[in-house]
Structure 1
Amino acid sequence: MSARPVSCALAGPTHADLLARLHAEIFSEEPWDAAWFAQMLANPAVSGLILSHPAADGDQPAGLALTSAVAEEAEILTIGIMPAARRQGLGAALLEAVIGDAAGRGVTRLHLEVSARNEAAISLYEKAGFARTGLRRKYYRNGADAVMMAHQL
């Protein structure tokens, strides 16, 4: 957990533009647009979080996460921290908030997929209790494999 105080707020369809801007900076190769975020967040099964951290000019959005739940299972659709805010414990704080939000919605199993090339994220997920459950070869457009992971809450 970061030594810096952070906050996580629920995101709704009105946050679609902000989420799209964050996503474009975090995932510049495959950004999702505001229309997609608005459509997803209009679905009651989808939960969005925006992580903010204090800055000289007020709280600044530094990360986002979206999960989709069906019964007791949920998938992390996207999760990420702004490049300039990485390596400060914010990813762990956001992941902790995602797990708490999912548990609060009655989820007992959380799963995700992550690029096999993203060793930092895989390490973060493993430290949070996620285990590898499979591999999807050449899953991403850039040819990277996807590591499938799950966490029993």
Structure 2
Amino acid sequence: MTHEDLPVVMDIERTTFPVDAWSEAMLRGELADQPRTRHYVVAEVGDRVVGYAGLAAAGDQADVQTIAVLADHRRAGVGTALMDALLAEAVRRGAVSVFLEVRADNPPAQAMYERFGFRRLGLRRRYYDDGTDAITMVKDLGPRHGDMGGGA
């Protein structure tokens, strides 16, 4: 994702998350940290951006910052492709775990994350702007490359 993608990304953001959409300034801040600690990607069908996703990574931990797909492109593999890209980047950066928050009232997203091997970790009460709880989830990626798991 680049700054040139922001107008269409912001349209998707506001459509997908009408109650608690990120501001353009927030997304600009995320892009400013690319590639140091952030990795943002867009999904295109033809020449149209239909989704985007972002990852924060530091040390051996990564966090899915956001993932959104236009409603008319859901259940067509776009979200899967975006999540595959984020997980591949997490591995490339040496992460051993990936965390995320998902709305407690969004079972389809929860199911997608479970298909990717995420497991429920906990609950953040009233996490979202409208008071909805967030379920925290984690996916273990395994030891860092070259780490044989033995003691010293």
How does the TM-score come out when normalised to structure 1?
0.83
Secondary structure at the counterpart of residue 5 of structure 2: helix
Q: 2:41 aligns with which of 38, 49, 52?
A: 49
Change (3 A) 1:72 1:14: farther
Paired with 1:70 and 1:14, the residues of 2 have a C-alpha distance of 26
Indicate yes or no: 2:66 matched with 1:78: yes
Paired with 1:102 and 1:15, the residues of 2 have a C-alpha distance of 22
For structure 2, the residue ranges without an aligned partner over 5 or more in a row are 142-152
The residue that corresponds to 2:135 in the other structure is 147
Aligned partner letter, 2:105: R
Indicate conservation of the 8 Å contact 2:123/2:135, yes or no: yes
Indicate yes or no: 2:17 matched with 1:27: yes
State the shift of 1:84 in Å.
Answer: 1.4
Paired with 2:90 and 2:105, the residues of 1 have a C-alpha distance of 26
Identity value in percent: 32
State the shift of 1:60 in Å.
Answer: 1.4
Paired with 2:123 and 2:24, the residues of 1 have a C-alpha distance of 30
For structure 1, the residue ranges without an aligned partner over 5 or more in a row are 1-10
Indicate yes or no: 2:129 matched with 1:137: no
The within-5 A match list for 1:82-93 is: 82-93=70-81
What is the alpha-carbon root mean square deviation over aligned residues? 1.5
Give the number of aligned pairs.
139
Indicate conservation of the 8 Å contact 1:13/1:39, yes or no: no
Indicate yes or no: 2:2 matched with 1:15: no
